[in-house]
């Protein structure tokens, strides 16, 4: 029998989905669903884009895709930084953006049941009305979705104290590659009745199933944080101070290197001309201990330090961190790494990445979540320069190798997507590679769920 043309396949899918479903096949529109924010990740035009409204829509589309062996890519907001949501030639993109409802907020049990396309910040705002909070705070929280956050196990600034997304997910509804719908986890705070299949799906980047609903744990809203900013002669001293700061239980602990500070100064002078590095810390309890923290910083050659528990001052002090990435982006095209190392290795990571930048003639700014050892070395090169882009891409992989040599990992929070899976093989044993492949084969025997992503 003659295989169906792409147009015929779209029409078959449309009739499988039934009336009223938004299925887009106009390439002028579908191209805007074909990639995320990772500059050098490959992508291609999808066959079509489904704007799903219900779990049932997702299930029908996945069942159809499985029967016809068509790849499926789940998409939240496309804010990813690893090419995870990038489409491949002829795939079906299932966008969860229209599934953006908070289904229930339970004040007594401190949980929220939400559709996967709801924005992270919207959950927190709704929780705030009850005096509660949804804590995981990726910098993209005003536009990334809970489904995308769960699928990448997103982190953020407050993870140093409150953990990453996985620590706040209680239960999920997932559409498997077969089109079956399953519930994993429980809304209860504790549950050990089954193998922890819930957390197998957290961070699986759309390769095992499509998450359509999520039950999130909320907490009593922490008090507004007090903030400390300290400057140091070098990243080595700032990193050593960061380790010492951990005993204060910071709710945020960030480091910014000199290259990044220079980029910020060139754009918005904030007074960091002589600083070799900045350490920023917040504490949402025991504010009085910030003075003690500053005294301790002095033992690590601190140049200058300030602290305040006034939220207005906090906004000023945090400005340098908010400007870090955009300031580097202003200087040219950027590739952002996301390595994580043991916190004791941050200084060595910074030293070796700086040396790499010198060796390769590249500007590499380094900033990140010092308290988690999760750093974002950002390589800057000239827009449109193909040789420089290749040099930057090689440096991107070398930074991962350096982190792995220091006992770290290729990705702390942004995910593996389509650009780091080969590197992951260097940090896990062949047996673990095979275990992962076995799980993938069991759950997705026809390899339709985001093929070519995440797994080495
Ligand atoms: C300026 C900026 C700042 C950022 N800051 C942070 C940060 O601080 N911390 C951090 O961790 N990340 C950060 N990110 C990266 C990104 O925002 C996160 O990875 C986020 O979790 C992605 O959510 P999304 O809805 O955009 O997902 P997408 O980018 O659409 O998808 C990400 C991955 O999840 C899969 N996926 C999406 N939805 C589902 C679903 N419902 N079911 C199954 N799989 C799904 C996709 O297939 C893809 O593999 C930042 C990005 C930008 C651009």
76 lines ligand 1 (CB under 6 A): yes
Atom of ligand 1 nearest to the CA of 204: 44
Pairing of strands 92-95, 48-51: parallel
Specify whether the CB–CB gap between 115 and 213 falls below 8 A.
Answer: yes
177 lines ligand 1 (CB under 6 A): no
- Whole-number Å distance, alpha carbon 413 to ligand 1 midpoint, is 9
pLDDT tens track for 141-166: 999 999 999 999 999 999 999 999 99
275 lines ligand 1 (CB under 6 A): no
**Residue with CA at minimum distance from ligand 1 atom 46:** 85
- Whole-number Å distance, alpha carbon 22 to ligand 1 midpoint, is 23
158 lines ligand 1 (CB under 6 A): no
Atom of ligand 1 nearest to the CA of 36: 29
Atom of ligand 1 nearest to the CA of 77: 26
CATH 3.30.70.2740 residue spans of the chain: 332-447
- Whole-number Å distance, alpha carbon 160 to ligand 1 midpoint, is 19
Instruction: Give me the CATH code for the 332-447 domain, please.
Output: 3.30.70.2740
156 lines ligand 1 (CB under 6 A): yes
pLDDT at position 40: 86
204 lines ligand 1 (CB under 6 A): no
CATH 3.30.465.10 residue spans of the chain: 102-220
CATH 3.30.43.10 residue spans of the chain: 6-95
Topology of domain 6-95 in CATH is 3.30.43
- Whole-number Å distance, alpha carbon 79 to ligand 1 midpoint, is 5
Atom of ligand 1 nearest to the CA of 84: 49
Cα distance between the two ends of the chain: 36
Q: Pick from 54, 61, 75, 210 the residue to mutate for probing ligand 1's pocket: most ligand atoms within 8 Å of its CB.
A: 75
Q: Measured between alpha carbons, how far is 125 from 131 in angstroms, rounded to an integer?
A: 10
Could you say which DSSP state residue 376 is in?
Answer: -
**Residue with CA at minimum distance from ligand 1 atom 27:** 148
pLDDT at position 261: 97
Domain 102-220 classification at class level: alpha beta
Is the pLDDT at 280 greater than 90, yes or no? yes
CATH 3.30.70.2190 residue spans of the chain: 223-328
Proportion of the chain above pLDDT 70, given as a percent: 100
Domain 223-328 classification at class level: alpha beta
Is the pLDDT at 1 greater than 90, yes or no? no
- Higher pLDDT: 39 or 217? It is 217
pLDDT tens track for 173-224: 999 999 999 999 999 999 999 999 999 999 999 999 999 999 999 999 999 9
Is the pLDDT at 39 greater than 90, yes or no? no
Q: Which of 328, 231, 325 is nearest to 273 (CA)?
A: 231
Pairing of strands 252-257, 277-283: antiparallel
- Whole-number Å distance, alpha carbon 240 to ligand 1 midpoint, is 31
153 lines ligand 1 (CB under 6 A): no
pLDDT at position 311: 87
- Whole-number Å distance, alpha carbon 76 to ligand 1 midpoint, is 7
Q: Among positive and negative, which fits the CA dihedral 415, 419, 425, 426?
A: negative
As a whole number, mean pLDDT of residues 110-137 equals: 98
- Whole-number Å distance, alpha carbon 450 to ligand 1 midpoint, is 14
pLDDT at position 180: 98
- Whole-number Å distance, alpha carbon 139 to ligand 1 midpoint, is 11
Q: Measured between alpha carbons, how far is 168 from 340 in angstroms, rounded to an integer?
A: 21
Specify whether the CB–CB gap between 208 and 199 falls below 8 A.
Answer: no
16 lines ligand 1 (CB under 6 A): no
pLDDT tens track for 233-267: 999 999 999 999 999 999 999 999 999 999 999 99
What are φ and ψ of residue 279, in 5° steps? Answer: -115, 130
pLDDT at position 2: 83
Burial label, 429 (beta-carbon count in 10 A; 0-12, 13-18, 19+): exposed
Burial label, 271 (beta-carbon count in 10 A; 0-12, 13-18, 19+): exposed
pLDDT tens track for 314-367: 999 999 999 999 999 999 999 999 999 999 999 999 999 999 999 999 999 999
With 0.75 as the threshold, say if the pTM is over it.
Answer: yes
pLDDT tens track for 382-416: 999 999 999 999 999 999 999 999 999 999 999 99
Atom of ligand 1 nearest to the CA of 201: 43
Specify whether the CB–CB gap between 353 and 406 falls below 8 A.
Answer: no
Q: Pick from 46, 51, 54, 80 the residue to mutate for probing ligand 1's pocket: most ligand atoms within 8 Å of its CB.
A: 80
């Amino acid at each position: 029998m003659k295989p169906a043309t792409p147009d015929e396949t779209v029409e078959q899918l449309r009739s499988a989905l039934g009336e009223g479903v938004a299925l887009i096949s106009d390439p002028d529109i579908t191209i805007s669903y074909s990639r995320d924010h990772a500059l050098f990740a490959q992508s291609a035009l999808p066959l079509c884009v489904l704007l799903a409204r219900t779990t049932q829509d997702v299930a029908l589309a996945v069942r159809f895709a499985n029967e016809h062996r068509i790849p499926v890519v789940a998409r939240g907001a496309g804010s990813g930084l690893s090419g995870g949501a990038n489409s491949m030639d002829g795939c079906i993109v299932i966008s969860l953006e229209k599934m953006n409802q908070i289904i229930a907020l339970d004040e007594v049990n401190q949980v929220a049941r939400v559709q996967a396309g709801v924005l992270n910040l919207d959950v927190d705002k709704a929780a705030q009305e009850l005096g509660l909070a949804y804590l995981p705070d990726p910098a993209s929280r005003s536009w990334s979705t809970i489904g995308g956050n769960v699928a990448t196990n997103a982190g953020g600034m407050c993870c140093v104290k409150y953990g990453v997304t996985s620590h706040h997910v209680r239960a999920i509804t997932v559409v498997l590659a077969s089109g079956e719908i399953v519930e994993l986890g429980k809304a209860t705070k504790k549950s050990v009745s089954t193998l922890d299949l819930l957390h197998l799906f957290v961070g699986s980047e759309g390769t095992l199933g499509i998450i359509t609903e999520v039950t999130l744990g909320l907490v009593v809203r922490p008090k507004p944080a007090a903030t400390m900013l300290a400057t140091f002669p070098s990243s080595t001293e700032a990193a050593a101070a960061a380790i010492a700061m951990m005993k204060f239980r910071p709710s945020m602990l960030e480091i910014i290197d000199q290259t990044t500070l220079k980029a910020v100064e060139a754009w918005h002078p904030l007074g960091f001309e002589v600083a070799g590095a900045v350490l920023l810390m917040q504490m949402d309890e025991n504010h009085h201990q910030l003075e003690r923290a500053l005294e301790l910083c002095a033992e690590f050659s601190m140049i200058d330090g300030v602290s305040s528990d006034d939220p207005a001052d906090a906004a000023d002090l945090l400005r340098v961190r908010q400007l870090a990435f955009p300031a580097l982006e202003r200087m040219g095209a950027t590739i952002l790494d996301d390595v994580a190392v043991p916190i004791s290795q941050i200084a060595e990571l910074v030293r070796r990445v700086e040396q790499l930048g010198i060796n390769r003639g590249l500007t590499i700014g380094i900033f990140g979540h010092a308290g988690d050892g999760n750093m974002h070395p950002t390589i800057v090169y000239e827009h449109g320069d193909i040789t420089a882009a290749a040099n930057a891409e090689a440096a991107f992989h070398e930074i991962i190798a350096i982190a792995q040599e220091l006992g770290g990992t290729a990705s702390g929070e942004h995910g593996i997507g389509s650009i780091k899976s080969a590197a992951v093989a260097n940090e896990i044993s062949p047996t673990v590679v095979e275990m992962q492949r076995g799980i993938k084969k069991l759950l997705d025997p026809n390899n339709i769920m985001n093929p070519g992503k995440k797994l080495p």
